Structure 1
């Protein structure tokens, strides 16, 4: 959501869902905004297998940008549109407990979701508030981790028993041929995804095949 008009449109739809009785929870990342601030500080963004390489300095910037800026900007837009939003990160109320990825030697402080405790979310959604969750969390020792927002959204949805998971992205969807926009798969099941993995047509964005499968179940 790089354009203000697009942000306003998405927020308007979100508020409409809330007004008609649905109880949305918004989970967000903020890759472009993070890249912008890294470049302002003369730090080159690095990626490994679709995930951001996050050293200690980058982790500090990720937390500041996602929790302190992107999250509060979204909360402000939702409130302005007539709903009541509450900004959170995975650290608040022990909402998300993180753990390092198996290949942390390459990725640094990139984490996975160890568990989700939705206790803090229940009274918010029950009272008609819209939780806005930044995909940053900490482990048992308080170390902060940057977690893929799609993964966080799926885990939070599962913990809440959500009826639907909606992913907003800047790509058309799953393409059978990444170079052919006309090869968009409008519907796919687990068997189809496994076939794409076996044929090496799936790459980037997810660190493991199991996360991809879990993300679309």
Structure 2
């Protein structure tokens, strides 16, 4: 893989201000289908590590899970955007996330001179979870082995970072009774970011960010305070599947993350370029912190 540090010398110079800081990156499953985007992602990770930024990667894998469920003849459905996960589905979820995707990503990073260690959230109880229920029309719905995060073993993650490693974590959690849970990757990344008091939580998506009107590319909202998010949800500007993602971002900031970036993971070298030109959506706690009110 080519060395990009010379061609990105100027933006990398600006990012050197974050030497010693921690970025948590949520690497979405939908981005993994684009090999060029994946290669550029690995190049960016290497460049950021070389200037001394600590990185933790939390990956998803929804499309790959769906593919292997279909291959295995196992049916699954979604309730309120969450995959109903019985024992058969959970076996495939764990196989795909912790086996296939996690090890492939950590291997590719290591092959490109990034010291990465692939981990499941159950390793050393990185992600402790409890059973999650969905409530719809005042009805409590059991969606199987889907979990809510209750604790993060940040001490273990920090020990890996101090050892120069990039932890690559699959969003599988466990409880004290040995039950294994499928965790939404956005929420897992949010909790890990907050536990580490990360400088940035970077969520790579397959859209450019948050729009006032998803059909109008010029309506992209570049800066949001957490108060803006509450307003836009009430006004219906933020709706559908973007609501839980935004709520996840708000929780991350309220619990210790400095700011959150939603950027298009399909863009070449998005981790470096998009972070600096704020081409996606950046979320801050207070409007004064580089955040201009969007009316």
Aligned residue number for residue 29 of structure 1: 60
Aligned residue number for residue 58 of structure 1: 89
Deviates more, 1:201-210 or 1:72-81: 201-210
- CA drift of 1:205 comes to 5.7
Pair member with larger Rg: 2
Measure, in 1, the Cα distance between the counterparts of 2:184 and 2:58. 10
Measure, in 1, the Cα distance between the counterparts of 2:245 and 2:160. 33
Aligned residue number for residue 111 of structure 1: 147
After TM superposition, the runs of 4+ consecutive aligned structure 1 residues lying more than 3 A away are: 205-212
Q: Compared with structure 1, are the counterparts of its residues 27 and 164 closer, same or farther at alpha carbon in structure 2 (3 Å cutoff)?
A: same
Deviates more, 1:5-14 or 1:196-205: 196-205
Q: 1:203 aligns with which of 240, 245, 268?
A: 240
Determine helix, strand or coil for the equivalent of 2:169: strand
Q: 1:99 aligns with which of 111, 118, 130?
A: 130
Measure, in 2, the Cα distance between the counterparts of 1:14 and 1:105. 40
Q: Deviations over 1:37-62 (max 9, x none)?
A: 01111234422222222122111100
Measure, in 2, the Cα distance between the counterparts of 1:147 and 1:167. 16
- CA drift of 1:207 comes to 5.1
Q: Compared with structure 1, are the counterparts of its residues 17 and 164 closer, same or farther at alpha carbon in structure 2 (3 Å cutoff)?
A: same
Measure, in 1, the Cα distance between the counterparts of 2:253 and 2:67. 30
Q: Deviations over 1:169-202 (max 9, x none)?
A: 1122112223333321111111111112212332
Measure, in 2, the Cα distance between the counterparts of 1:79 and 1:127. 15
- CA drift of 1:212 comes to 5.2
RMSD: 1.9
Measure, in 2, the Cα distance between the counterparts of 1:186 and 1:55. 39
- Report if the CA contact (8 A) 2:119-2:170 is conserved: yes
How many residues align structurally?
A: 217
**Higher helix residue share:** 1
In structure 2, the gaps of 5 or more residues are 1-31, 135-139, 255-295
Deviates more, 1:132-141 or 1:46-55: 46-55
- Whether 2:83 is the aligned partner of 1:77: answer no
Aligned residue number for residue 19 of structure 2: none
Q: Deviations over 1:87-133 (max 9, x none)?
A: 11111111110012232734221111111111211221112111000
Equivalent residue runs for 1:45-194 within 5 Å = 45-103=76-134, 105-194=141-230
Give the TM-score normalised by the residue count of structure 2: 0.69
Give the TM-score normalised by the residue count of structure 1: 0.92
